[in-house]
Structure 1
Amino acid sequence: MRPRPLALAAAIALLPLCAASLSVTAAQAATPNASAPRVALPNTVTPAVAHSQKQGDVPAAQQLSVAVSLKLRNTADLDKFLADVANPASANYGHYLTPAEFTARYAPTQADVDHVVAFLKSQGLTASVSANRQVIDAKGSNAQIAQAFGTHESAYYDASDAKQFFANDNAASLPADVAAIVDGVSGLNNKTVRTPELAKPNTSHPLATPSGYGPSQYDGAYNLNKVGADGTGVKVALWEFDGYTASNLSTYDKQYGLTGPAPTTVPVDGQSYDSAPGDGQGEVELDSEIISGVAPKATQLVYEAPNSDQGEIDMAAKIVADDQVSVISISWGGCEPDTTQSSMTAVDTSFKQAAAEGISVYSASGDDGSRDCTRSTSGASVKSVDFPGSDTYVTSVGGTNLQVSGTSYSSESAWSTAGGGVSTVFAKPSWQTGTGVSGTMRTVPDVSSNADPNSGFAIYTQGTSGPAWQQYGGTSAAAPLWSGFTALFNQKAAAAGKANLGQANPALYAVANSSSYGTSFHDVKTGANQDFKAGTGYDQVTGWGTPVADALTTALLGGGGTTGGNTVTVTNPGTQSGTVGTAVSLQVKGADSASGQTLTYTATGLPAGLSISSTGLITGTPTAAGTSSVTVTAKDATGATGSATFGFTVATGSTGCTPAQLLGNAGFETGTAAPWTASTGVVDNSSSEAAHSGSWKAWLDGYGSTHTDTVSQSVTIPAGCKATFSFWLHVDTAETGTTAYDKLAVTANGTNLATYSNVNASTGYVQKSFDLSSYAGQTVTLKFTGTEDSSLQTSFVIDDTAVNVG
């Protein structure tokens, strides 16, 4: 162990500042039963902990409430059902499940729920189970929570937004038999909150009369008034973290001559804000008024939840368990990097149930362009997208600047701060295909509508001195507009004896990839956000564009005669494989329900070097290794289309690479860091920690106080080469138990390869290795980052590194 500086005393000196605002104490009871075998739950620590200042302990008696999310069963079967229920060629198309049917097929068993509840109660916690058996809310003191989940709650200060919060320092853990049932635990911090995606013009001020577009203008511009529906018989859920004033909504309706059911509030976790709405009131009233303007006779259920991870999870579970609505409108979100991934997973589980039940979900794409973290912790330098819009089962709605002539469409361009980009969490789904769609991860938005506050909507809401007219924009205006459109569609579908739209994206992308695209959407081709430009077809600013609602309704219903009712199916050839430099020949076949039709084939996602003929023959010679998601689409003369998606993996084959080791000073034996970049004192030859070989090594941390050490080096991996990164690691610690207090992160170009901690301590060195072949042809920076908390040392000793290619 290295000599300890006075960092611990300094940390204690900070406690009075924290105590003044967060009632923290100087000590917290140790977690009992620390020796029991436990399994850590990944992604249960808020990312904000990594760059915030710890200021003390949360009092042991402070009451906390968490949401324990449980794993679904039969997930492969669920994935197939969700694909089939959205596929017109499937016998399951439109045959949605009831909540009871979903629970019986896919929810955790009652025995599993009882097992987790029994564990929680054995720890002194109270437990209540959601109606769909997917979430258990557990409540108790901080000491009880710490005992149950193997966590330690600390007070933190985040200088980036000048806010104090509490959070768990380490990942939650559970006994192995309980952890096998649990997906994650949320609510261990109060850092993560959702913000409204709402924008005002720079000159915005309360007005005595409406300013901005009213229903006649946006309904007319998007042909919403030509659908021939008003939302009668359809229920829409508003996903809210604040409340509204009913008289403001009725004033809006009266101004525009709208009549329909008054909204009904549905409290979640006992939360109802309507008696004293907060700063988010304008968001709630914007959502409600836009939906009223599009579908005035639709019934609005306003779900109001605590603004927290747990509140969001509980709201999602309640909406799908209630199964009262066919549309959910969401105008609150947060950037993916600042959101705990276990919480996203829990909400995604409910969105899967929504898709199974035939519920469409629309969410604002964000108002900070392709840098969605601009106003949050990670900051404007990070390319990021907004959750929950990035979720696979959600339709993300971007923003435009709409110009009208009277009540008719004139022109449209992308709003410069409309959210859009590439998810780092969700993979690209099979239905996300078409001109402009690329990559392997989900991209957003999917569609768009007016959102620029300078072409904004007239909204009646609370002003600085009372209710008044405001001109609002933001993608939080675009999401409810599309939700209102879907209410109109579902009314028309019911009248035609057809199913709800359900998960909208598979159907929307099918129309966008058909001959109906030009008549069903306004393709917005001008404008940009920070990193992406609008253009022909799909783009990451406006998606496929904005609705031509009457034509889109016809296309979605399958009417209009453009395809003659034909059904085209493509036979899926199954997963394919090839080798770089070896020719490929694959015939893809399709069929048409109508006789005498000739099919023309196209494909997206083909490996480099391959192409498809109009007859469906894929040929060529692969030029690069990797795995692609290939979608082949066949179209007949009437415009009817069908598609199949399959994986295509290309192996490296004979690379011709000259075997080599690329790292410089791989064993640190020069006695200096170069060409490594290292913290002071990391390259070391002292006898306190032995090298794996030779005399020198890299020794990170070991101070027994709050400390961070790094060592990194960049190498260029030749194109086409296989590459393996390896090193020898020794972890020496004074910590005890199974809680990860001190950590070593190993990254490649910022992507985490592995994380080790004091829990990985051993008496000798252990070799670790990672495949870096995916970085062939690139320069990759390999970095070790060791972080140590305020007490009890942990040393991470690294030696004999290598990047071998061949």
Structure 2
Amino acid sequence: MRPSVLSLLLLPFAAALPSHPHEARHAHPSGWRPHPKAPHPSLPVPLRIALTQSNLDIGPAELSKISHPDSPSYGHHWTPAQIADFFAPAKESVDAVIAWLAEEGVDPARVSLSPSKGWLAVANATIAETERLLRTKYSVYTHADSGAAHLACDAYTVPAHVAHHVDFITPTIHYDVQLPPVKRSGASKEIIKRGGMPPAAQLGLPDSASLPKMALGGLFTIFDQLEHCDEQITPVCLRALYGIPPAGLQFATSKNSLGVVEFAPQAYLPADLDMFFNKFLPSAVGDRPTLAGVDGGWLDPTSVGLQFNGESDLDLEYTMGFVHPLKPVLYQIGDSTLSGSFNNFLDAIDASYCTYMGGDDPTQDSIYPDTLDPNGYQGTNQCGAFAATNVMSISYSYDEIMLSPFYEQRQCNEYMKLGLQGVTLLFSTGDAGVASGFGICSTDGQYDPDGIRFVPSFPATCPYVTGVGATQIPEGGSVLSREVAVETNVFSSGGFSDVFPLPDYQKSAVQSYYNKYPPPYTAAQYNNSQQVRGFPDISANGLNFVVAASGNFTLGSGTSAATPVVASVFTLINDARLAIGKKPVGFVNPALYAAPWILNDIVSGNNPGCGTDGFEAVPGWDPVTGLGTPNFPLMSAYFLTLP
């Protein structure tokens, strides 16, 4: 199995002697090499100390209290202020670290506490001072492909009496300090590719593995009859498959909200929306989402083509088509140069996350002001600029091995906090079966065309989000046929995490799966410990969606198509709950696993990859389609009975 979050690259020794490292790195990310010359002792260092957060260990139990249908506290969502207070480091931790710094000669006047109380910043620190403080040596590491340069060390020391108060310190082993990078030219426009990431790691770029698979060429004939739903999926097909009512929101539009997240340079074209609605929902012609431009996010009218418009057009056409007249909030992330990341999005909806556990990581996140392009966004990261919507549809993903386990756990904890606030987070799982988004597998935590190890996707493996897989109507079938796991052009990504443990709400389903249908693979191929998070949780049709994109009708496929459908279903359920004075459904996984009968079980198909047939869809939960597809009448009735 792939080592866990605490054992792959980062080895904390929280209770160690002063001479032992607090964190150490055994290997550097692929492509990074140290410069032979040491950095100058007077080089400024933005020294930040992330304090140990309180109550992270009991956060999952608190989330279960408000999310499990049998809990008397179901639906009692927390306010942002309650969350900030609950997870803030103890005053004892703040005092202990400040005292240690003073003992080392750091004037307390140079030390400031962040508004979230999550970290301490030391002003005007230098290489020489930081090396003495942390008993370490810094080097400048340069990435061979991107030219990006980062300040990092191999290990650092914290006194034993302080160690349990310190989560980690930057810049140290995390590559958090970015030096001026080198620009690279892309095929169609100049794009900055951040160091340490495969090209498709930049979520919105045209070569991203997250994007839907779009058919080339336009459609000459569009079918809007149920007898053709095995060839083309339209809103009428999905309504028939899942029992979704035709009228959209009925009761509580003013109280309800749905968010769609897109990353630059992906952007919808207004003419595409009107083209789609003119065909399928004339009353919505002229409707537009409410734009929440994050870190310079805007709608670029000059980038036209399926690789720029397909994702956003698909997401908005289907969400708006189902929840009309509600206008979704479009979280448009990133400027014309930097596409942004999930962390940039989280910054925008939660100010405390900008500084939680040390802030964004320049090896993965876009950092603002954008010094790489004079036309880029010149403001600071937008911290807490926008409210979170009740439901979030996010058709983008990474591979777990693409990011460090630390980075993933850091982000997953924020998803837990959003769940406590009553936010439903839906992430697509990917389209390459058990392989990576690139269709290749891994060896020893690295991409390897000859590798045999399966590659889970993230954030779907985070236990506090809902991962969405994909299905299809069998060839020659109808909307009355039982769907199968998608097997034409794309394959529903699913499997088991190498980072996150098995959540309580999923234990029974996963144990039943292993007892009845044990996969024929070894620990060399995937984490078969039966103690880790399985994914996806739910699925929906993801094959051949009719999409108006870049001025033409075409077909789009993938879990990217399935996710906005599921998001729309939960938005409609929220509409009914809000209308009778109840709260939004919030984190839905415990409720879904407690009542799998409200979903259409998928029992046929598989998700091949890595030279195997992958996992099989079987009765009950499986790591291909999860618990199944929506059955709106049953789901709506069930959630309306909950407090």
TM-score (norm 1): 0.54
- Which residue number in structure 2 is paired with residue 156 of structure 1? 143
* Aligned equivalents of 2:237, 2:128: Cα separation in 1: 57
In the alignment, which residue of structure 2 is the partner of 1:526? 605
**Structure-1 separation of matches of 2:47 and 2:63:** 29
1:255 corresponds, among 234, 258, 279, to 279
Larger fraction in helix: 2
Match of 2:6 in 1: none
Q: Does the 8 A contact of 1:490 with 1:499 survive in 2?
A: yes
* Residue of 481, 485, 489 corresponding to 2:565: 481
2:423 to 359, 365, 372: 359
Task: Please say if 1:472 is aligned against 2:549.
Answer: no
Aligned partners of 1:124 and 1:268: how far apart in 2?
Answer: 34
Which of 386, 392, 396 in structure 1 is aligned with 2:457?
386
Give the direction of change, closer, same or farther, for the CA distance of 1:173–1:536 in structure 2 (3 Å limit).
same
Q: Quote the Cα distance in structure 1 between the aligned partners of 2:422 and 2:556.
A: 31
Residue 399 (str. 1) matches residue 470 (str. 2): yes
Mapping for residues 105-184 of structure 1, pairs under 5 Å: 105-108=86-89, 151-157=138-144, 165-166=148-149, 170-171=153-154, 173=156, 177=162, 180-182=165-167
The alpha-carbon deviation at position 55 of structure 1 amounts to 7.8
Is 1:48 matched up with 2:30? Answer: yes
Q: Give the counterpart of 2:494 among 420, 439, 460.
A: 420
Change (3 A) 1:476 1:245: closer
Distance 1:218 1:143, change over 3 A: farther
**Equivalent position to 1:494, from 578, 582, 592:** 578
Contact 1:99–1:323 (CA under 8 A) maintained in structure 2: no
1:296-318 C-alpha deviation (Å, 9 max, x unpaired): 33332222345999842242243
* Equivalence for 2:261: 239
Call closer, same or farther: CA 1:65–1:371 in 2, change over 3 Å: farther
Task: Tell me by how many angstroms 1:228 deviates.
Answer: 6.6
Shift in Å, 1:43: 7.2
Q: Which runs of 5+ in 2 are unaligned?
A: 1-17, 179-193, 224-231, 351-383, 441-445, 516-529
What are the Cα deviations for residues 383-431 of structure 1, in whole angstroms up to 9, with x where unaligned? 1210001001011111112359999443421124210111010111111
Aligned residue-pair number:
504
SS of 2:331's partner is strand
One-letter code of the match for 1:505? N
- From 55, 58, 78, the equivalent of 2:59 is 78
The one-letter amino acid paired with 2:349 is I
Report the AA paired with residue 499 of structure 1.
K
Q: Give, in whole Å, the separation in 1 of the partners of 2:108 and 2:439.
A: 39
2:291 matched to which residue of 1? 265
**Counterparts of 2:241 and 2:577 in 1: how far apart (Å)?**
23
Instruction: Tell me the residue number matched to 2:521.
Output: none
Is 2:326 aligned against 1:298? Answer: yes
**Where does residue 364 of structure 2 map in the other structure?**
none
Q: Is the 8 A contact 1:237 1:327 kept in 2?
A: yes
User: 1:326 Cα shift?
Assistant: 1.0
- Check conservation: 1:239, 1:330, Cα contact below 8 A: yes
- SS of the aligned residue for 1:48 comes to coil
C-alpha spacing 1:318/1:275, structure 2 compared with 1 (3 Å): same
Q: Is the 8 A contact 2:501 2:533 kept in 1?
A: yes
Per-residue deviation, 1:469:
2.6
What residue is the counterpart of 2:80 in the other structure?
99
Q: Distance in 1 between matches of 2:19 and 2:447?
A: 35
* DSSP 3-state at the match of 1:419: coil
Partner in structure 1 of residue 349 of structure 2: 319
The answer to whether 1:548 aligns with 2:619 is no
In the aligned structure 2, how far is the partner of 1:140 from the partner of 1:271? 32
Alignment RMSD: 4.5
CA shift, 1:241, in A, is 2.1
Q: Which residues of 2 match residues 406-805 of structure 1 at below 5 A? A: 408-416=479-487, 417-432=491-506, 433-434=508-509, 435-436=512-513, 439-451=530-542, 455-462=543-550, 467-512=551-596, 517=597, 520-530=599-609, 531-558=614-641
Match of 1:224 in 2: 244
Q: Shift in Å at residue 237 of structure 1?
A: 2.4
Q: In the alignment, residue 503 of structure 1 is paired with which amino acid? A: F
CA spacing shift, 1:404–1:45, aligned 2, 3 Å: same
Q: Residues 51 and 166 of structure 2 are in contact (CA less than 8 Å); yes or no, is this contact kept in structure 1?
A: yes
Structure 2 CA distance for partners of 1:126 and 1:106, relative to 1, 3 Å: closer
State the 1:374 CA deviation. 3.9
Rounded to whole Å, the distance in 2 between the matches of 1:476 and 1:379 is 25
TM-score normalised according to structure 2 size: 0.66
Of Structure 1 and Structure 2, which has the larger fraction of its residues in strand?
Answer: 1
CA distance in 1, matches of 2:127, 2:332: 30
- The answer (yes or no) to whether the contact 1:385–1:420 under 8 Å persists in 2 is yes
Deviation, 1:332, is: 1.6
Q: Which moved more, 1:334-343 or 1:397-406?
A: 397-406
Structure 1: segments with no counterpart, 5+ residues:
1-35, 560-564, 566-806
Structure 2 CA distance for partners of 1:497 and 1:526, relative to 1, 3 Å: same
CA positional deviation for 1:546: 0.9
